[in-house]
Amino acid sequence: MESTANISVLLIYTLAILLTISAIIIIYLILRLKKEAEQNRQFIQKSKETDSRKENFELETIKSKLNPHLFKNVLNSIQSHAYQSYYALDKLSNVLDYILYESDCEYVSLQEETDFALSLIEINRLKVSPLFDLRIKNKIDKDDSLFDEKLVAPLITIDLIENAFKHADIQNQDAFISIVFDLNETTFSLTVTNKISANPTLKKEKSGFGKDNLRKRLALVYHENYSLEHKRENDIYIAHLKINLLEHKAKMSSAG
């Protein structure tokens, strides 16, 4: 009886924490959207805009859609698995810190972005069975000179990762998700592979949102110094992102 009572108290305490976090996030989103609406209104009033201002506006518009979308997915993962919430809350704290304090930066380091991505993966892990074949490989050499330089657009990795969890055929015993991070002296790459369902997925959101916005954001930030490929081989879906960080760094230096 005492053990059952302790579990009940623990569950109530966990749910209380989740409700508090949800309230904080909702308040943050409301304030942020109000702020961005005012910024957009002031921006539109200016009749003459330079190309760089237009690009910045487009990037902010994409990010303003991206953050609430990410919050929603993170909360759905955690709230549906309250019994694992103590572990998840630690990862959630890392993700929220990154979104709140780093996502407004023009660039972050590859270390910061990959740390965020790995925390996000652990939160998404709650969606699948403990026996699910989730393969994570980080092949980045932390001694690489580009690892700590602020050359990476924040949140650039999340669309490929979240799409894999969203569309993976997690009920199939042969299902898997593979996520590989790599850095080969000049180029950062992210390869995400997953087995997809043979049945059409119920589309709760606009299917083109993540893919279209990712490509647009990459083009605005990195211009020709990136490639993004999506391909399907039977029931296997592969997404491959490459960003030439060294070339981008050189262009940033010449422009500055």
**Nearest residue to 126 via CA among 157, 163, 87:** 87
CA dihedral 70, 73, 79, 82 (to 10 degrees): -90
How far is 9 from 20, CA to CA, in rounded Å?
Answer: 16
> pLDDT digit string (tens) for 20-57?
777 777 777 777 777 766 766 666 665 445 455 545 54
**Nearest residue to 226 via CA among 158, 151, 164:** 151
| Global confidence as pTM | 0.70
> pLDDT digit string (tens) for 151-163?
999 999 989 998 8
Residue extents of the structural domains in the chain: 2-255
Indicate if the pLDDT at residue 145 is higher than 50: yes
User: Does the domain at residues 2-255 carry the CATH identifier 3.40.50.1820?
Assistant: no
Q: Is 42 exposed, middle or buried (0-12, 13-18, 19+ CB in 10 A)?
A: exposed
How far is 76 from 72, CA to CA, in rounded Å?
Answer: 6
